[in-house]
A and B are shown apart, each in its own frame.
Chain A
């Protein structure tokens, strides 16, 4: 400071000293020196220096809010001679602008009139507008002509804040473009656009603001959020300040709460309790969320309780959120939780409560949807009853323990040891060596006895059908249940009562075809199977079923000698039959001619079968069977019976046996077995046994093994597997057949578990050693798992229930 008050010796040094004093914020000494310099050595440069000192000092006084000192300083400054031209105008504008801070608005407006430069004048007027808005002191400061625009702006802002956007827009229209509040108008128009998420519109308005003016500064924090390019153009320090101001303007309460919820939920293994406890504690903030967000969060927590909640979570949930609109008593939620923990009877009871609640509040659903909702729930309840009954079936001794969980299976002598690479059937005397498993019956958790449920399985489906007659699923479920329990007569009655629309369902027509076939109602069955093929003409299995049914009808017509029907059925059966079935169709056609004494035609049809040596024995079998069934002459019957016996006497090969088994399976599938089937089957299986033992090539045995699995011939499958493994103990196909021959051949306890374990081990080996051969086995196993969901569960999650 001592140096700043020191007066320089020579006038030439004054300007530098003055600048140094200004740098040191010593305005008064600088002003004194500048005045002296101009007085002693007048020049345009020194006059400009003096003016700049006045301005610097004036700005400092304004910042320090020293109004009186500022007025005095400006009064002195105004006495200085006005420079010529733009320099003079700029100087005057600067003085006038400083005057605004003193509150002398009327004087400022008069002085502004003396400014000839329109831009400078407009800047001053705008600054006046800013001052008025900032101080809201219109009565004393603002001339009357500016009052309407000011009031319009204030009212517009009030209505904007209250959400009355249209009124705000209308009020802004009253502010003319010449008004000193025009920047405020642009600022508020941008804000309205921003609140409508119209960021482009907001930026468009705000781009037109003068950067140094108050309106631009007012919305700068918001613009920084939505206009990244503009934000990037700001200095880093300013960016940080804008960000802080934005946070002050828009406290992100909701986001903070959500982020905390997300953090708590991302912690694994802690369930929902910490999250819901936090939400309870922060319930004031949670309830302040926008309504749509609040309801979404409530819904999200509702479902999260199902996925990862615990018993106490509902209580916490209720303290924060209102009852779920579709489940105010949480019947649905708890029912689903109970399903997950396999407390199916509890779940059933809760679903029943839930469907009753829907019934009582049906008006909350659009027309007829409440009935359908109840029907859907009844159907779900039916599914639960099915599962409960299936579990009860497993608890055959009624001791309340799931028999699958005891270790009685060891009595069967079938067990697995750790590291055992394959399934090992028992050998005599092995029983004592069996490794005891750690599970014991005493430790097993007893199951609750099956409760008496209000509705049984069929009642659930019936109620569902009655409530929502247009919805086919319950009827189809009921039909499936009757079919599974082999109650064909009831299934047929249900089918006949079904509406036409339901009868076009692929599953219904498929079952209908089977049901009527089982009841020997061949023409009905044929109609159903035709319908099934019409729905899905590319399904080979449906087409084969249709061909079989057509052949059965054909036999009836041959006996009845209905020529036109016979011709049509031969054509239909032939068009849908696979290669093996086509042989049977031709045999029937030929025998039809023989029965009508048309020897030449019959012989000609048989001749079309060719002399395929592999299919010869199967053909002999068919000829022997059909000659009897179609009541041909005794001579012919004897001829074909001898032909069949002779065919079996030679040593049939495995491919020949495959054809024979194919023919046998066709006859076995018929609802009424022909007389002599069992004798024929025995003969064929004896021949099969010797064929298997004689076969040296394993690859030849594989298709036979798959066929035996398909048709359920477990004993020959066992022979095949043992023979195969005696040739190659590690052959995966033979191991698979060995497992299947045990697992599928009877009702073993723990069957699915052991079956699953063995399959899982095979899959691991296949994974380790992928080859074209193992990939074929993998495909077979995948198909097996697809068809058997229970097995799939044990293969892919063996410890779920253990």
Chain B
């Protein structure tokens, strides 16, 4: 697990308890455990972390980022944001000679 619970639930960190719950129920209906066991587990785990104020504070104090892993970071780096904006000069420089 690497994404934040907010990202998994698709809500912002300042969402109300009721919003969190509503979103959780929507996602659970969308990803039932029989068909999406891993996704369901991730949603459930994320919900438990942010379901109410106490859970959110406890998560921030003792858990936030603790379950991240280097593998996930490398994977993320490889397939997400390591796409540089290239310049025309760079692209032309890498062309083989005519």
Listed in ascending order, the chain A residues whose CB lies under 8 Å from chain B are 62-63, 101, 133-134, 154, 157, 160-163, 191, 194-195, 197, 214, 217-219, 221, 241, 245, 248-250, 252, 254-255, 258-259, 261-262, 265, 289-290, 292-293, 296-297, 299-300, 302-303, 326, 332, 365-366, 368-369, 372-373, 376-377, 471
Taking A160-B85, A376-B58, A471-B54 as known contacts, 7 extra A-B pairs with beta carbons closer than 8 A to each other, sorted by chain A number, are A194-B83, A258-B70, A259-B74, A262-B71, A290-B77, A292-B81, A366-B13
Cross-chain contact B98 with A249 (CB below 8 angstroms): no
Chain B residues with Cβ below 8 Å from A372 are 53-54, 57
Report the count of interface residues on B (CB-CB < 8 A): 39
- Whole-angstrom distance between the alpha carbons of A369 and B13 in the complex? 12
Bound-complex Cα distance A241 to B95 (A): 11
Cβ-defined contact, A262 with B94, below 8 A: no
* With known contacts A101-B98, A299-B65, A372-B54, A161–B86 Cβ distance under 8 A: yes
**Which B residues lie within 8 Å of A250 (CB)?**
82-84
Given contacts A366-B14, A369-B53, A372-B54, contact A255 B61 (CB under 8 A): no
Give bound CA distance, A292 to B4, whole Å: 12
Q: Tell me whether B48 is interfacial, beta carbon within 8 Å.
A: no
Q: How far is the CB of A171 from the nearest CB of chain B, in Å?
A: 13
Looking at chain A's contact residues, is the secondary structure mostly helix, strand, loop, or mixed? helix
Residue pairs across A and B with Cβ atoms less than 8 A apart, 15 shown, are A217-B95, A218-B94, A245-B94, A249-B84, A249-B94, A250-B84, A254-B82, A255-B82, A258-B73, A290-B81, A296-B76, A366-B13, A369-B60, A376-B54, A376-B57
Asked if A296 and B61 sit within 8 Å, CB to CB, the answer is no
> A289 CA to B84 CA in the complex, in Å?
11
Known: A293-B76, A326-B60. A214 touches B87 (CB 8 A): no
* A197, B90: Cα distance in complex, Å: 20
Q: In this complex, what residue of A is CB-closest to B65?
A: A299
Chain A, residue nearest B2 (CB): A296
Q: Bound state CA distance, A708 and B68, in angstroms? A: 49
CB-based contact A300/B70 at 8 Å? yes
Q: What's the minimum C-beta distance from B98 to chain A, rounded to whole angstroms? A: 7
Judge whether A157 and B88 touch: CB under 8 Å.
yes
Would you call A300 and B77 a contact (CB within 8 A)?
Answer: no
CA distance A162 to B85 in the complex (A): 8
Proximity bits, B36-61, A CB within 8 Å = 1, else 0: 00000000000000000110111011
Within the assembled complex, what's the spacing in Å between the Cα atoms of A372 and B53? 8
B interface residue numbers (CB < 8 A to A): 13-14, 53-54, 56-58, 60-61, 64-66, 68-71, 73-74, 76-88, 90-92, 94-98
Instruction: Give 7 closest A-B pairs by Cβ, nearest first.
Output: A299-B65, A258-B74, A290-B81, A262-B70, A218-B91, A245-B94, A303-B66
Indicate which residue in B65, B83, B88, B98 contacts A303 across the interface (CB closer than 8 Å): B65
Chain B residues whose C-beta falls within 8 Å of the C-beta of A248 in the assembled complex: 94
**Bound-complex Cα distance A471 to B54 (A):** 8
Report the Cα distance A194→B87, complex, angstroms.
Answer: 14
Q: Could you tell me if B82 and A300 are in contact, using CB atoms closer than 8 angstroms?
A: no
**B65 in complex: contacting residue of A197, A258, A296, CB < 8 Å:** A296
Q: How far is the CA of A297 from the CA of B77 in the complex (A)?
A: 11
In the complex, what distance in Å separates the CA atom of A18 from the CA atom of B85? Answer: 50
Complex: A1 Cα to B79 Cα, angstroms = 54
B94 touching A293, Cβ below 8 Å? no
Known A245-B94, A249-B94, A299-B65; judge A161-B85 contact (CB<8 A): yes
Known contacts A63-B98, A214-B95; decide if A293 and B70 are in contact (CB<8 Å). no
Q: Which chain A residues border B84 with CB–CB below 8 Å?
A: 249-250
Chain A residue with minimal CB distance to B97? A63
B92 near A218: Cβ-Cβ < 8 Å: yes
- Residues A255 and B65 in contact, CB atoms below 8 Å apart: no
Q: How far is the CB of A115 from chain B (nearest CB, A)?
A: 21
B93 vs chain A, min Cβ distance (A): 8
Q: In the complex, which residues of chain B have a beta carbon less than 8 angstroms from the beta carbon of A373?
A: 57, 60-61
Q: Which residues of A contact B53 (CB under 8 A)?
A: 368-369, 372
Known: A63-B97, A290-B81. A265 touches B70 (CB 8 A): yes
Closest to B71 in A: A262
> Is A197 touching B80 in the complex (CB atoms < 8 A)?
yes
Q: How far is the CA of A555 from the CA of B56 in the complex (A)?
A: 49
- Checking B56, B60, B68, B87 against A161 with a beta-carbon cut-off of 8 angstroms, the contacting residue is B87
What residues on A are CB-neighbors of B85 within 8 Å? 160-163, 195
Determine the chain B residues whose CB is within 8 A of the CB of A261 once the complex forms: 70
Please, which residues of chain A bring their CB within 8 A of the CB of B66?
A: 303
B73 in contact with A297 (CB, 8 Å) = yes
Complex: how many Å from CA A377 to CA B57?
11
B68 touches A300 (CB 8 A): yes
Report chain A residues within 8 Å CB of B95.
134, 214, 217-218
Q: Please judge, given known A-B contacts A217-B95, A366-B14, A372-B54, whether A254 and B77 are in contact too, CB under 8 Å.
A: yes
Contact A326 B64 (CB under 8 A): yes
- Expressed in whole angstroms, the minimum distance between the Cβ of B82 and any Cβ of chain A is 6
Residues of chain A within 8 A (CB-CB) of B91 are 218-219, 249
A195: B residues at CB distance < 8 A: 83, 85
Nearest CB of A to B41, in Å: 22
Considering the chains assembled together, what is the distance between the CA atoms of A101 and B98 in angstroms? 9
Partner of A299, one of B58, B61, B68: B68
B82 touches A197 (CB 8 A): no
Whole-angstrom CA separation of A161 from B53 in the bound complex: 43
Q: How far is the CA of A245 from the CA of B85 in the complex (A)?
A: 15
